Structure 1
Amino acid sequence: MEAQLEQIREQQKDSWNKFSPGWKKWDSLIMEFLHPIGDEMIKLLNPKENESVLDVASGTGEPGISIALKIGNGKIIFTDLAAGMLEIAEENARKAGIPNFETQVCDVSELPFADNSFDIISCRLGFMFFPDMQMAAKELARVLKPGGRITTSVWAGPEKNFWVTAIGGTINKNMGLEAPPEGAPGMFRCAKPGFIANMFKEAGLRNISESEVLGAVNCGTDETYWSMMTEIAAPFVAALSKADDSMRAKIKKEVSELINEKFPDGNVSIPSSAFVIYGEK
C-alpha cells in the first residue's frame, strides 16, 4: 500500500478506536436508524443454512449479527480496522446468542483469507472510508466463492442527508474549513448513483443491482442530536476542537435553531438516504 494510503488507514484506525465508546453509548439509536439499510442488504443476500459469511467494517456488529441468526451452524467472521469497535461487536454477538463467530482486526485491502472462502460478504457503510476502494473491491471479490453474493451500502448525496449537513454545514459556515481533497475518504465520497456498481463491475462481479433506501434518525430533540453527533462523528469533533468556547456555543445554537425550524413540532426525526448495491461472483 502506498505511504499516503497507509497514513490515511492509520489515522482512521486511531479515530475509530477513539470514538468506539461513543458508538457503544449511542448503539441502540444508531442501529434503529440504520435498520432499513441492513434489512435491504439481508433481503438481497438471502442467507441460507450453513453458509460462510464475511462482515466487513463491522462496527458494532450489524448487519452481520442479523445475518448470522439466519445461517444456523454456518460461520461468520466480523472484521474491522478498529479493535475497539470489534470488542463491541463481539459483546453484541454474544448477547444475541450467535454460536459460531470470530472477530478479526484487518484491513479490507489486505484480507487474511484464502481465495474463494465465503458464500456471503456484507459491508454496511464502509466503502466511502476505504483508502483504496478499487483495491478493496478486488479483495472482496477474491475471497468470495464463485456464485457467492456480496452487498454493500453507501450514503446518497448531502441534499438527502440533512442529519449530516445540519451540523456539518453550520461548522463549515462558521469556521471556513478547507474542503478535503476531491476523492478523499468521507461520508459522500460514493454518493454518485452507479459509483459502487461500476466498481463492482470492474472487480469482475455480475448481476449487479442498486437501490435507494430511505430512513430517519429519530433523535427526539435537538439536544440529543447534538450530543450524538459530537460523540460519534470524528470530523465534526476535530473541527469543533479548533473552536473556542464562544464559537462552539454559537455553532451549537445555530444547529439547534436549524433543527427546530425543520421540526417545529419538537419531534426530531431526520430523514436519510443510502444506496444498497448487490453483486455476485
Structure 2
Amino acid sequence: MEQQLEQIREQQKASWNKFSPGWKKWDDLTMDFLKPMGDEIIRLLNVNNNDIVLDIATGTGEPGLTIASKLNGGKVILTDLAEDMLEIARENASLRGIKNIETVVCDVCELPFPDNTFDAISCRFGFMFFPDMELAAKEMVRVLKPGGKIATSVWDVPEKNFWITAMMGTIHKNMEITPPPPGAPGMFRCSKEGLMKELFMQAGLKNISQSEVHGKLNSKTADNYWSMITEIAAPVVAALSAADDAMKAKIKQEVYDIVNQKYPDGNVVIDASSIVIYGEKTQA
C-alpha cells in the first residue's frame, strides 16, 4: 500500500479507537439514527439462513448484528480498523445473545479472506472513509461469491444533512480550517451524483441500483445534540481543539441558536439523508 494511504489508515485507526468511548456512550441514539439505512441494506441483501455475510466498517456492530440475528445456520464476520470499536460490537452481541458472529481487525483494502468467500457484504457509512475506494470495492468483489450481493450506504449532500452541517458550518464560519485535498476521506466525499454507481460498475458489479434513505437524529435537546457530536465526530473535535475557550463558547452559542431556531418547540429531531447503493457479482 502506498505510504500516504498507509498513513491515512493509521490515523483513522487511532482516531476510531480514541472515539470509541463516545460511540459506546451514545450507541442507543446513533443506532436509532442510522437504523433506516441499515434496514434498507438488510432488505436489499435479503440473506438466506445459511449465508456467510461480511459486515465491513461495522463500528459498534450494525447492521451486522441484526443480520446475524436473522440467520439460522449462517454467520456474520464483523470487520473494522479499530479493535476498540469491535470490542463494543462483541459486548453488544453478548447483550443480545447473538453468538453466530466473529470479529476481525482489518483494512478493507487488504481483506484477509480467500476469493469467493461471502454470500453478501454490508457496509454502512464506510466508503467515504476508505483511503482508496476503488481498491476497497475491488477487494469486496474479490471475496464475494459469484452471484453474491453488496449493499452500502453513504451520506447524501450537505444541504440534506443539517445534523452535521449545523456544527461544521458554524465552525467553518468562525475558524480557518484547511480543506482536505480533493478526493480525501470525508463525510460527503461519496455524495457526488453517480459516483458510487460508477465505482460499483468499475469493480465489475451488475444490477446496480441506488435509493435515497432518510433518518432522524432524535437528540431531543440542543444540549444532547452538542454533547453527542462533540464526543463522536472526529473533525468537530479536531477543529474545536484548535480553538481557545472564547472561540469554543462562541461556536457553542451559535450552534445552540441555529438549532433552537430550527426547532422552536424544543424537540430537536434532525433530518438526515443518505444514499444506499446495491450491486451483484456476476455469476461464474
Q: TM-score range by the shorter chain?
A: over 0.9
What are the residue-to-residue correspondences of 1:24-173 with 2, within 5 Å? 24-173=24-173
CA distance in 2, matches of 1:152, 1:53: 13
Match of 1:217 in 2: 217
- Partner amino acid for 2:53? V
Question: What is the CA distance between 1:68 and its match in structure 2?
Answer: 0.7
Match of 2:231 in 1: 231
CA distance in 1, matches of 2:186, 2:279: 23
- Listed one character per residue, the Cα deviations across residues 25-76 of structure 1 (whole Å, up to 9, x for unaligned) are 0000000000100111111000111100000000000100111111112011
Q: Give the TM-score normalised by structure 1.
A: 0.99
CA distance in 2, matches of 1:178, 1:58: 29
Question: What is the CA distance between 1:192 and its match in structure 2?
Answer: 1.3
CA distance in 1, matches of 2:248, 2:72: 50
Q: Tell me the secondary structure at the aligned position of residue 134 of structure 2.
A: helix
Q: Tell me the secondary structure at the aligned position of residue 217 of structure 1.
A: strand
Q: Tell me the secondary structure at the aligned position of residue 210 of structure 1.
A: strand
Q: Tell me the secondary structure at the aligned position of residue 69 of structure 1.
A: helix
Q: Tell me the secondary structure at the aligned position of residue 70 of structure 2.
A: coil
Question: What is the CA distance between 1:195 and its match in structure 2?
Answer: 1.1
CA distance in 2, matches of 1:76, 1:218: 29
What are the residue-to-residue correspondences of 1:185-264 with 2, within 5 Å? 185-264=185-264
Deviates more, 1:87-96 or 1:102-111: 87-96
- Partner amino acid for 1:8? I
CA distance in 1, matches of 2:145, 2:96: 27
Deviates more, 1:129-138 or 1:189-198: 189-198
Question: What is the CA distance between 1:87 and its match in structure 2?
Answer: 0.3
CA distance in 2, matches of 1:162, 1:100: 37
CA distance in 1, matches of 2:76, 2:36: 21
Question: What is the CA distance between 1:193 and its match in structure 2?
Answer: 2.5
CA distance in 2, matches of 1:138, 1:94: 32
Question: What is the CA distance between 1:4 and its match in structure 2?
Answer: 0.6
Q: Does residue 22 in structure 1 map to residue 22 in structure 2?
A: yes
Contact map agreement 1:206 1:280 (CA 8 A) in 2? yes
CA distance in 2, matches of 1:94, 1:49: 20
CA distance in 2, matches of 1:242, 1:40: 38
Contact map agreement 1:194 1:210 (CA 8 A) in 2? no
CA distance in 1, matches of 2:46, 2:193: 24
CA distance in 1, matches of 2:174, 2:277: 36
Deviates more, 1:95-104 or 1:212-221: 95-104
- Listed one character per residue, the Cα deviations across residues 176-223 of structure 1 (whole Å, up to 9, x for unaligned) are 212111111000000013211110110001111000001110111111
CA distance in 2, matches of 1:234, 1:23: 11
CA distance in 2, matches of 1:86, 1:92: 10
CA distance in 2, matches of 1:154, 1:248: 29
Contact map agreement 1:73 1:99 (CA 8 A) in 2? no
Q: Tell me the secondary structure at the aligned position of residue 97 of structure 1.
A: coil
- Listed one character per residue, the Cα deviations across residues 93-141 of structure 1 (whole Å, up to 9, x for unaligned) are 1222222211000000000000000001000000000000000000000
CA distance in 1, matches of 2:250, 2:106: 40
What is the number of equivalent residue pairs in this alignment? 281
- Listed one character per residue, the Cα deviations across residues 66-95 of structure 1 (whole Å, up to 9, x for unaligned) are 111111120111000000100001111122
CA distance in 1, matches of 2:207, 2:93: 31
Question: Mind listing any 5+ residue stretches in structure 2 that lack a counterpart?
Answer: none
CA distance in 1, matches of 2:211, 2:264: 31
